[in-house]
Amino acid sequence: MIATRESRLALWQAHHVQQRLQSVHAGCTVELLGLTTTGDRILDRPLAAIGGKGLFTKELEQALADSRADLAVHSLKDVPMQLPEGFTLAAVLERADPRDALVSSRFGSLRELPPGARVGTSSLRRAAQLSDAFPQIQVLPLRGNVDTRLAKLDRGEYDAVVLAAAGLKRLGLAHRIRELLAPSLSLPAPGQGALGIEVRAGRDELLQWLAPLAHRRTWLETTAERAVSRALGGSCRVPLAAYAVQQPDGTMRLDAMLAVDGEPKPRRAGAQAPVADFDAAAELGERVAAALAAPGGSKD
């Protein structure tokens, strides 16, 4: 049994895992348990003001604890950096497009936006980078699922919105994308574009059953990204980005961004190193986090 949120995107993700499991374990039956989380119910306040990313996972974790479900499927970027005691990340699936995407009915790119243009986003990370690169625009809060956000755009409440490209593509909405934002402009959130599977700790047989779904390169990259956030106390209250890319020779490049209150520009740092295992990935993330924590953090 898969525990999932009931938004259209969350259900797509759960069905994707369901289909993958049924393809690698012929004859198995995999069902879905749809749940509404606190984060889904409270839409009139910024996520940072009501408790953070854990609001999208705690009801699913309760279903695991109660044995109503065996696993929970999450967008990895929504998974807290420290899981509650008794839970573990069982697998990270191959990452889809990690970039942010501009959606607008009137403008083809961020550079076309006129002074005062209203750009909606739910992310402090996106807001910090957009405001830095385009100080003439208004970056306004925007909550709700993908369809809700697009409806607000279509009603004229915003001139443009910025969403995760992966979510739009998964929902068959790639045609709404006007511009894919390069990581140099809008560095993604840790884990963006990847799916994570959470289970109760100690279920070794379930871990083995899920192992074929794991994508080692994505898991290594997101381990480095999440290590940056973990070291800096990252949550949706902290405007932080991290994006890692592992090369065929085993070298990994990790870039990160941190916006600090009172500082005129976001801090940026980066490093690269050979990464062959999860410990090395975490060490790279901690190294970049230390550079960000130092005033004047800069890319090497």
Active site residues: 78
Surface-to-core class of residue 51, CB atoms within 10 Å of its CB (0-12 exposed, 13-18 middle, 19+ buried): middle
What does each C-alpha distance from 169 to 26, 69, 175, 193 come to in angstroms? Answer: 28, 28, 8, 10
The total number of residues written for the chain in this structure: 300
Q: Who's near 275: CB < 8 A, 6+ residues apart?
A: 220, 224, 246, 250, 251, 252, 281, 284
**Taken in order 161, 162, 165, 167, is the CA torsion positive or negative?**
negative
